[in-house]
Structure 1
Amino acid sequence: MLGLVAGLCAGYTVQAGRAPTPLPPLSQPVVAQAKGKAPAPLSAAQDRKVRSDGDLRDMLLKRPAGASDAEYPAGHDGWLSMSEYAESFTRPAGAFRQLVSEEFRRAAVADWREGSLDVRIRLIQFRDERAVASQDALDSAEKWAGEESGHSTAVPGSGTGRVYTGGALDSGGRHRAEAFARRGSVLMEVWLDSDEPIAAQKALDLAQRQWERM
């Protein structure tokens, strides 16, 4: 114990005997502005902020040639209200309250049918001001999909975006594939339902093409 006290005293003595370290001057040298032309501003096609603040429906994949209307079209004129989106959850009332707290901003939707395959794509945008709700929504969606699916594949270039296939049949006895990814404040959801098993490559191709439009 005495050795420890002596060591501490010696340390304080050494520190006290050192000359104080001078602080850097408050005034800093002026950095000369680089010469040359300022870079041109990004175009609307290049600036993701401009794209996501524009008409969200323009970022949706277009219906392929030969496809028909969905049996039960979602939303109105390509838009999905917060209450309509909440209705897609098992507990709509709780989902609605959660969307309010997560600062839901808006959602766009596109759906169509190709033979027995039903396709629905939703882009859900959050304000992401108090928290990054879009990331939380992606994490939640992928958590549930990962537990229910038999196989998952990364969406190239999307970071943590993934496609899920081979899971249990849905409530109607149909095969399902789903994909999720996030670009900025926009969450991408791709849903496929079919009477026949859905090839992982087909689901991945659709998800990849939708991702590239965002």
Structure 2
Amino acid sequence: MEAQQDVPDQQEPEESQEAAAPAGDRPARRVRPRGRTTLIIAAAAVLGIVGGTATGYTVQAERPPTPLPALAQTGLAYPAKALPEGKEPEPLSAKDDRRVRTDGDLRKLLVSKPAGARVSDEEWVKDGRADLTSYALDFDSEGYMFGELAAWDFRRFAGTAWEQDANRWVSVRLVQFGAGPVAGAAEHADGQFSYMPDDEEGAGNNGDALKGSGNGRYYVYKVDRKAGYLPGYRARALFQRGDIMADIHVFDTKPISKKDIRVLAERQLGRL
């Protein structure tokens, strides 16, 4: 008889055993929670920033203050102490104080019409005053001008107009602005100056400086000729004096000399 060899029992793989086991007997698989590490890192970063900021403030607070550099100006223009009684400067008179003069009725500062001239019968001339809306309507882009004038703290308007020598028409307008953060009179004057060299909208030239005004200029336009109409001549003067902008226009069917517009502008400047 052949000897029987003992053959060891072969164990099935664990996967097979696990597969053979009933579903209810399988151990539950553990799932690693997500996001916890990210939260820890974010919290550490925040704590690092806060701690660094606090440390920086602490270090800066303990340092001695850095002295400011010396002033470039050796002395001040005004006295360090008040002047003794009786040596204070005299207050400006109403004649010399420009603010007192311009705070009154602005119409009284308008240049007077020449002898023989007739006051224009236009509606706005009767009262000699106009509000912001009425003044803005004189411009082609009235909506834009309304916004600009309001932003510049438009205060009031005064003007006059007259007719002389049959075909000459003259208007003088003063626009005053409040004491806001923007120098409204200067801004308004600069806006008008900006387009005067233009051939279509302006005089087509840079004009001439009005002496004694600071920034004033007067212009003589090119003649406007159209078939069936008399030739049109025009001149304009603009200047700013403190919180007031002056705008002067002259229209005629005959040539207007530079002297005519300059003398008129100088008279109005003298009134201000």
Length-normalised TM-score, structure 2: 0.63
Q: For 1:74, what is the secondary structure of its paired residue?
A: helix
Q: For 2:197, what is the secondary structure of its paired residue?
A: helix
Whether the 8 Å contact between 1:170 and 1:176 is mirrored in structure 2 is no
Distance 2:90 2:98 in 1: 16
Structure index of larger Rg: 2
Q: Show the 5 A alignment for 1:120-159.
A: 120-147=171-198, 148-149=202-203, 150=205, 152-159=207-214
- TM-aligned CA deviation for residue 23 of structure 1: 9.7
Moved runs in structure 1, 4+ residues, more than 4 A? Answer: 20-24, 170-173
Gaps of 5+ in 1: 1-19, 25-29
The count of corresponding residues between Structure 1 and Structure 2 is 190
Whether the 8 Å contact between 1:158 and 1:181 is mirrored in structure 2 is yes
Which deviations, in whole Å up to 9, do the C-alpha atoms of 1:139-177 show, x marking residues without a partner? 111112232324611111001100011335399862111
Taking a change above 3 Å as real, the CA distance of residues 23 and 42 of structure 1, as seen in their structure-2 partners, is closer
Gaps of 5+ in 2: 1-65, 71-79
Whether the 8 Å contact between 1:125 and 1:134 is mirrored in structure 2 is yes
Instruction: Find the partner of 1:64 among 110, 114, 118.
Output: 114
Taking a change above 3 Å as real, the CA distance of residues 143 and 34 of structure 1, as seen in their structure-2 partners, is same
Which amino acid counterpart does residue 141 of structure 1 have in structure 2? Q
Distance 2:169 2:68 in 1: 71
Identity level (%): 31
- Give the alignment's Cα RMSD to 1 decimal: 2.6
Determine whether 1:88 maps to 2:143.
Answer: no
Match of 2:220 in 1: 165
Structure with more relative contact order (C-alpha pairs < 8 Å, separation 6 or more) = 1
Match of 1:4 in 2: none
Whether the 8 Å contact between 1:69 and 1:112 is mirrored in structure 2 is yes
Which amino acid counterpart does residue 197 of structure 1 have in structure 2? P
Distance 2:120 2:225 in 1: 17
Length-normalised TM-score, structure 1: 0.79
Q: For 2:149, what is the secondary structure of its paired residue?
A: helix
Which deviations, in whole Å up to 9, do the C-alpha atoms of 1:22-81 show, x marking residues without a partner? 999xxxxx7463464333221111101111111111110012110012253534411122
